[in-house]
Structure 1
Amino acid sequence: MIPLGIKVKRLLITLITSSLFLATGFDYTYAAPEQNSKQSPFILGNDQRVILIDAGHGGVDGGTSYGSTLEKDLTLAISRKLYLILRSNGLDAVLNRFDDYALSDENRWFPSSSRHRRDLTQRKGLADAIPTSVVVSIHVNWAPSSTKNGPLVLYRKEGRSYILAKAIQNQLNQLYDVNIRPEHGKPFFLLNKITATTVIVEAGFISSPIDRVKLYSPQGQKEIAKAIANGIAVYLTEI
């Protein structure tokens, strides 16, 4: 069980930071998916649909990299934009980190010497501590070959997670002009341990010069975030 102090601290950070972000006046308006252009799925309202955005890595854990660019910075940038889009359209969204720090630093309740395991259990702990219905974990991929490119959505072996993964994958495929199928992420801790509908979004390959055009630019990151938000919206109309 997560100590109450950690739960309260997380929720306070979310509420305070969301107020600051939403006051910026940036245009993060929702772009309706092509297959549902007549009506925005966000008209559904929140209806206890809490969406937890998991910004991958952070702090000492930089994730993968290309040159001096680290995965943790790209995942945070995309996650913050996704958070703003969802919140500005009336959905209850929570972002588990708004800055560059390791979630393992706040985990003093799990008795493990492994920083990586404390990090993962802290992410799962937050999903358990709030009434989460959807978890979207944002990551960036890497491959030995620079020719491999495109987004990939991984899902837990469960019907709703597959529906969510397929919806997000379809939107990202349109953005990247590719035809990639979502995959079962069998070995991943979050997909195995979190009971809510959960997917991992590999937003592109940092090793690909094609994908880096989107991953590195604020406009490209916003387009990725919009595609993910569109996929979430489509999912919410289907369940």
Structure 2
Amino acid sequence: MRWLKVALVGLLLMGLLPTDARAISSEHIPIEIIIDAGHGGIDGGTSYQGILEKDINLQIAKLLYKELLIKGYQVLLNRTGDYALSDENKWLRSPSRHIRDLAQRRHLAKEIHPQMLVSLHVNWSNSKSSRGPLVLYQKNNQSYILADIIQHHLDQLYKTKGEPLPGKTYYLLKQSICPSVIVEMGYLSNSRDRHFLVNEKKQKQIARSIQEAISEYMLIMNQIQDQETWDVIEEPRKKHK
């Protein structure tokens, strides 16, 4: 399966090309971040005059992948081409292709045990005035912190004022065991957002903003862990004073 393997770090850094996870066994490289490129294959997602969400998701996912690699993170992109992950799911007996697709994305995170999963999507509204990014989070503190930071960085780029929302009904958020967020990168139904989503320069800016948010989150989490470790070390010392 594509997702069972990841590319050698050296080759990734040299080529900076997304891996479809077939180069080496994932046991050799601990993956920190999974980028979930939403939809794919028969599932185009939302659309506007021939513009398909699945293509935008993949384009920005690849850019984000490169951004994170440059920063030194170990990253896995779960889709590197136009195919549906439901095709990879041979283990779940469900008549629903959509459920098999989502289950495969969740299964990947379960097998890899990353520090986070970031799922990229594009929004749609019947109201053409609806615009701006929206980040959905799980019912846990880490997911909310990650969502809030990504929301802030994307709002700065889009010049909007949004708030992350709980994604209570979303399968991936309910089922994923690692901190996960769904990033709706803008509304394809809105002309201003559409310019961000399809313009190559703007796509790079979106990827850069998400990378900066992830880096900020990782820094915060490392600081929290360092403080917790220090507290564990300090507590016995206090008892012996």
Shorter-normalised TM-score: what interval?
0.7 to 0.9
Unaligned runs of 5+ residues in structure 1 are 1-5, 26-46
Verify the 8 A CA contact 1:156 1:184 in the aligned structure 2: yes
Structure 2 partner of 1:77: 59
Change over 3 Å in CA distance of 1:24–1:106 after alignment to 2: closer
SS in 1 for 2:7: helix
Match for 2:165: what amino acid? Answer: E
Structure 2 partner of 1:36: none
CA displacement at 1:19 relative to structure 2: 3.5
Structure 2 partner of 1:204: 186
Structure 2 partner of 1:15: 7
Q: How does 1:117-156 map to 2 (within 5 A)?
A: 117-156=99-138
TM-score with structure 2 setting the length = 0.83
Q: How does 1:72-221 map to 2 (within 5 A)?
A: 72-221=54-203
TM-score with structure 1 setting the length = 0.83
Change over 3 Å in CA distance of 1:21–1:211 after alignment to 2: farther
Match for 1:23: what amino acid? Answer: G
Verify the 8 A CA contact 1:22 1:84 in the aligned structure 2: no
Bigger Rg, which one: 2
CA displacement at 1:194 relative to structure 2: 0.3
Distance (Å, rounded) in 1 between the aligned partners of 2:70 and 2:213: 16
Distance (Å, rounded) in 1 between the aligned partners of 2:12 and 2:173: 31
Change over 3 Å in CA distance of 1:20–1:92 after alignment to 2: closer
Change over 3 Å in CA distance of 1:157–1:64 after alignment to 2: same
Q: Deviations over 1:43-85 (max 9, x none)?
A: xxxx956100000000000000011001000000010000010
SS in 1 for 2:115: strand
Pair 1:64-2:57 in alignment: no
Structure 1 partner of 2:23: none
Structure 2 partner of 1:31: none
- The one of the two structures with greater contact order (alpha-carbon pairs below 8 A, sep at least 6) is 1
Verify the 8 A CA contact 2:173 2:181 in the aligned structure 1: yes
CA displacement at 1:237 relative to structure 2: 1.5
Match for 1:118: what amino acid? Answer: R
Unaligned runs of 5+ residues in structure 2 are 18-28, 222-241
Verify the 8 A CA contact 2:31 2:76 in the aligned structure 1: no
Distance (Å, rounded) in 1 between the aligned partners of 2:151 and 2:207: 12
Instruction: Tell me the C-alpha RMSD between the 2 structures.
Output: 2.0
CA displacement at 1:10 relative to structure 2: 2.0
Runs of 4+ in 1 over 3 A off after TM superposition: 16-22
Identity %: 46
Change over 3 Å in CA distance of 1:96–1:232 after alignment to 2: same
Distance (Å, rounded) in 1 between the aligned partners of 2:101 and 2:130: 29
Verify the 8 A CA contact 1:64 1:71 in the aligned structure 2: yes
